[in-house]
């Protein structure tokens, strides 16, 4: 059934491999523009305060300082959804919020200038908890968001946005249920995706209406798409540098972008802003907080009859995309769970925590990590094996869901039950699963437990992409798709797809740099969309280019275009390869053949990931160790096996599985300061802590595009946290409902402290 391809499915070195291993790859902090200034940000020591007075005169006099900006002097740009975040404000809303900006000849001069800015604050009471924030009398962050609730209206750019799931009759559904589970759970440890490279940007104005941005973004083009309307529609050229890790967090976060652009405007020179690791920890966006109060009804056979509840989402002090994350999370939970009766309401709430932004898992990981533990109670009551429950309830062809656009979509993809089964077999689930709250094995004080989680996303077909493929007479092709490289290998994968269509050796296909002014429209590499959406556009463009080439070649070969084939930069009539002519004979030397491709949104396919985890918990010390992970998926067709394996291994870090084990941003609620905002105190997995990790990857052809492939990278992290919570609960025989599973929480659950 599986098609053998020339390039696809085979491990090939990444196009940028040599640059990476020699240190030549150009990251944002390696870029130096002539006359470039260095920007630094003065940050608030208070979680909530009005700026009563700000005096920048001493800082301005310091030699080398070229501009000092405050809320009074910055451009009046606003971003976020709804637009609520100015470049600087007269009010600060979290510890680390920006107060003033400085550009100077060197970074050291800019830092010294920050120390000379005098600020008088009027401190205000702060609120960090999502439910405290919506109580009457709570400190108010924004006059336009009374009660700290961000209204659920759709943005101006879209007609609808899913902000609740309401369908069927929940009362009737609960009556039909054999078991009802009800409870609350939260996934609000605000773990940091923490790419090794801090966020960075360089901005330079080529003219009053012409801004160029160099960015370490995973989706360079998205910066143009989002920054243009926020900044009064100047022409914005965005050039992506090699991205030193993102995991969603470096898409179009406009905070550093607007800082650099404002300083560049004020000075008429390029301005470089590169966060320190401390700023990265304390002043950049984190994952949304997620808390749920929910009730679920199920039948003995695992049929879910009703879901009703409220999802409280902590947006922190500013939100880049909270509403969209709610929309996608609500869609994803319907992919996980077939149920005819829903009443799931949501609230997006501001607090004085770090801003929230795009993070891998995008709403779904947040919702699921809080919701599956309650669903587990229902499964326990019905004595159901969770793997069987997920097999029964995961979306199947013909099922539907309300997706983020508020529309009902009917799923037309493959049945992932086979991948679940293969994963379970590889893990040895049948032997290890002993029932709810039962350990797999006991060794003295150590208890082994297993757990499983599942996730799927229909954003694999989100938004639009365009691509050109340009053939040159020398028998080479250039792909024009505005795609950055943040570790996903997507730039190389797109070359492989084009090379496959054009039957060219891989070294004859290259991709243009991620630059909005040399490429057509691109949304960005998010939601595992690269393989299906950008892939479709590139395939279409390559096919279009080939068609044009054959039209030129047909008269030369005295044949019809449909009778022609191409291989290695030559064209021949089918069956007559020995009479092949080089492309240049058909094209002439002063021509290119450019094909165009375009993909339009399609939410009728979803990807799939199931994560099996095995943990060992020491009931004496409370320490949990992750022993083994099996990640099971079906991607239709592997583009590059090593790249895919790496993406799935990535489920441990970047705010994934480890958010259930030890990762969290610890806040001092008396002062609003983060207590572990550095790489010593923030815990991360090292080479000596690796669990055994096995990927089970199926290739059932998926009706996406010519190569039947679908992306899965983004969702690799999402099923992990709830799987770990389940495994730990089973190991110790007590239900744990908090993330992460610190020794304190384990010992507390066991009644030992």
Partner 1 sequence: MRKRNRDEVGKGEGTSQGRATTGKTAEKNISLTVNGKLHELMVAKDVNPWHTLAYTLRETLGYTGTKIACDHGSCGACTVLMDGEAVLSCMTLTVECDGKNITTIEGLENAKTRELHPLQQAFVDNTAFQCGFCTPGIIMSAKALLDKNPSPTEEEIKQELAGHYCRCISHYEVIKGVMTAAGKGR
Residues that bind partner 1 (CB under 8 A): 11, 13-14, 16-18, 20-27, 29-33, 63, 105-109, 112, 193-198, 242-247, 276-277, 486-489, 640, 642-643, 645-647, 649-654, 678-680, 684-688, 690, 693
Q: Which two tokens stand for residue 242?
A: 């090699």
Task: For residue 409, give the 3-state DSSP assignment.
Answer: strand
**CB-nearer residue toward partner 1: 105 or 699:** 105
Residue 717 Cβ vs partner 1, minimum distance, rounded to whole Å:
10
Find the shortest distance in angstroms from Cβ 564 to partner 1: 35
Residue 350 phi/psi, 5° resolution?
A: -90, 140
Burial class (CB in 10 A: 0-12, 13-18, 19+), 404: buried
Sign of CA dihedral 352, 354, 357, 362: negative
Nearest distance in Å: CB 640, partner 1: 8
Q: How far is the CB of 357 from partner 1 (least distance, A)?
A: 16
Rounded to a whole number of angstroms, the minimum distance from the CB of residue 653 to partner 1 is: 5
DSSP output for 174-230: HHH-SEEEEEEEEE--------SSPPEEEEEEEETTEEEEEE--SSHHHHHHHHHHH
**Of the two residues 379 and 697, which places its CB atom closer to partner 1 in the complex?**
697
Nearest to partner 1 of 487, 672 (CB atom): 487
CB of 554 to partner 1, least distance (A): 41
**Residue (286 or 643) nearer to partner 1, CB:** 643
Residue with tokens 């979509």: 409
Separation of alpha carbons 566 and 587, rounded Å? 13
Closer residue to partner 1 (CB): 339 or 644 = 644
Q: How far is CA 699 from the centre of its chain?
A: 24
Least distance to partner 1 from the beta carbon of 239, Å?
10
Other C-beta atoms closer than 10 Å to the C-beta of 330 total 26
Nearer to partner 1, 241 or 308 (CB): 241
DSSP 214: E
User: Based on CB atoms, which residue is closest to partner 1, 21 or 166?
Assistant: 21
CB of 251 to partner 1, least distance (A): 14
Cα gap 410→388, rounded to integer Å: 23
Q: Which two tokens stand for residue 104?
A: 């100077």
Residues in the chain: 753
Q: How many whole angstroms separate alpha carbon 336 and alpha carbon 339?
A: 10
Cα distance between residue 306 and residue 341, in whole Å = 5
The nearest distance, CB 276 to partner 1, in angstroms, is 7
DSSP state of 147: G
For tokens 């550095």, name the residue.
678
**Residue 564 CB partners (closer than 8 Å, separation 6+):** 550, 553, 554, 557, 571, 572, 573, 574
What is the C-alpha radius of gyration for the chain, rounded to an integer number of angstroms? Answer: 27
How many CB atoms are located within 10 Å of the residue 438 CB? 13
In sequence order, the 6+-apart residues with CB closer than 8 A to the CB of 491 are: 15, 16, 483, 484, 485, 511, 514
> In the complex with partner 1, which residue's Cβ is closer, 42 or 553?
42
* Closest CB 721 distance from partner 1, rounded Å: 15
Tokens of 701: 């052809």
- Minimum Å gap between C-beta 688 and partner 1 is 5
Question: Quick one: 346 or 492, whose CB is closer to partner 1?
Answer: 492
Q: Which is nearer to partner 1, 473 or 487 (CB)?
A: 487
Nearer to partner 1, 431 or 687 (CB): 687
């Amino acid at each position: 059934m599986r098609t053998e391809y020339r390039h696809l499915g085979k491990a090939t070195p990444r196009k940028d491999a040599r640059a990476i291993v020699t240190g030549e790859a150009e990251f944002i902090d390696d870029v130096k523009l002539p006359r470039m200034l260095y920007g630094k940000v003065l940050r608030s020591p208070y979680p909530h305060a009005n700026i009563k007075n700000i005096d920048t005169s001493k800082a301005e006099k310091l030699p080398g300082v070229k501009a000092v900006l405050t809320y009074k002097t910055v451009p009046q740009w606003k971003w976020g959804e709804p637009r609520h975040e100015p470049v600087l404000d007269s009010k600060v809303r979290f510890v680390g919020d920006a107060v003033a900006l400085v550009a100077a000849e060197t970074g050291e001069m800019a830092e010294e200038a920050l120390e000379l800015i005098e600020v008088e604050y009027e401190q205000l009471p702060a609120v960090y908890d999502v439910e405290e924030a919506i109580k009457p009398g709570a400190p108010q962050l924004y006059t336009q968001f009374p009660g700290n609730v961000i209204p659920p209206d759709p943005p101006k750019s879209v007609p609808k946005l899913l902000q609740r799931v309401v369908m069927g009759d929940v009362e009737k559904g609960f009556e039909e249920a054999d078991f009802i589970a009800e409870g609350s759970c939260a996934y609000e440890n605000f773990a940091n995706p923490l790419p090794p490279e801090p966020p960075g940007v360089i901005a330079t104005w080529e003219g009053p209406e012409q801004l160029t941005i160099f960015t370490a973004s995973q989706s360079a083009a998205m910066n143009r798409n989002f920054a243009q309307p926020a900044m009064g529609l100047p022409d914005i050229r965005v050039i992506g540098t090699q991205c030193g890790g993102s995991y969603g967090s470096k898409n179009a976060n406009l905070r550093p972008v607007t800082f650099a652009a404002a300083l560049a405007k004020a000075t008429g020179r390029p301005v470089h802003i590169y966060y320190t690791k401390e700023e990265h920890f304390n002043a950049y966006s984190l994952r949304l907080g997620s808390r749920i109060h929910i009730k679920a009804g199920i039948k003995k056979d695992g049929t879910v009859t009703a879901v009703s509840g409220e999802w409280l989402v902590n947006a922190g002090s500013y939100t880049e995309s909270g509403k969209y994350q709610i929309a996608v999370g609500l869609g994803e939970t319907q992919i996980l769970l077939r149920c005819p009766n829903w009443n799931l309401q949501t609230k997006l709430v501001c607090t004085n925590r770090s801003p929230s932004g795009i993070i891998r898992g995008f709403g779904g990981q947040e919702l699921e990590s809080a919701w599956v533990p309650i669903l587990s109670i229902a499964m326990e009551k019905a004595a159901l094996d969770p793997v069987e429950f997920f097999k029964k309830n995961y979306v199947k062809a013909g099922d539907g869901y309300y997706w983020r656009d508020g529309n009902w979509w009917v799923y037309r993809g493959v049945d992932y039950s086979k991948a679940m089964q293969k994963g379970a077999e590889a893990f040895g689930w049948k032997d290890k699963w002993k029932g709810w709250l039962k350990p797999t094995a006991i060794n003295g004080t150590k208890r082994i437990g297993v757990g499983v989680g599942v996730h799927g996303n229909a954003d694999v077909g989100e938004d639009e992409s365009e691509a050109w493929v340009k053939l040159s007479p020398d028998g080479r092709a250039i792909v024009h798709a505005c795609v950055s490289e943040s570790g996903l290998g997507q730039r190389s994968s797109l070359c492989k797809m084009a090379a496959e269509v054009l039957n060219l050796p891989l070294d004859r296909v290259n991709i243009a740099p991620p630059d909005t002014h040399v490429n057509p429209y691109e949304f960005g590499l998010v939601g595992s969309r690269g393989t299906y959406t950008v892939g479709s556009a590139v395939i279409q463009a390559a096919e279009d280019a080939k068609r044009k080439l054959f039209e030129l070649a047909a008269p030369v070969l005295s044949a019809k275009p449909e009778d022609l084939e191409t291989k290695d930069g030559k064209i021949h009539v089918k069956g007559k390869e020995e009479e092949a002519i080089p492309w240049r004979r058909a094209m002439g030397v002063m021509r290119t053949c450019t094909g165009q491709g375009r993909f339009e949104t399609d939410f009728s396919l979803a990807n799939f990931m199931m994560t099996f985890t095995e943990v060992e918990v020491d009931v004496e010390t409370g320490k949990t160790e992750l022993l083994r992970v099996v990640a099971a998926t079906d991607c239709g067709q592997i583009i590059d096996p090593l790249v895919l394996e790496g993406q799935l291994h990535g489920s441990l870090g970047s705010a994934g599985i480890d958010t259930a084990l030890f990762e969290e941003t610890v806040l001092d609620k008396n002062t609003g300061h983060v207590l572990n905002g550095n790489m010593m105190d923030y815990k991360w997995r090292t080479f000596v802590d690796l669990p055994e990790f096995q990927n089970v990857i199926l290739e059932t052809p998926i009706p996406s595009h010519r190569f039947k492939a679908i992306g899965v990278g983004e969702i690799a992290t999402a099923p992990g946290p709830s799987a770990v919570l389940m495994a730990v609960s089973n190991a110790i025989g007590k239900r744990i409902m908090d993330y992460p599973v610190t020794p304190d929480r384990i010992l507390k659950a066991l009644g030992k402290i």
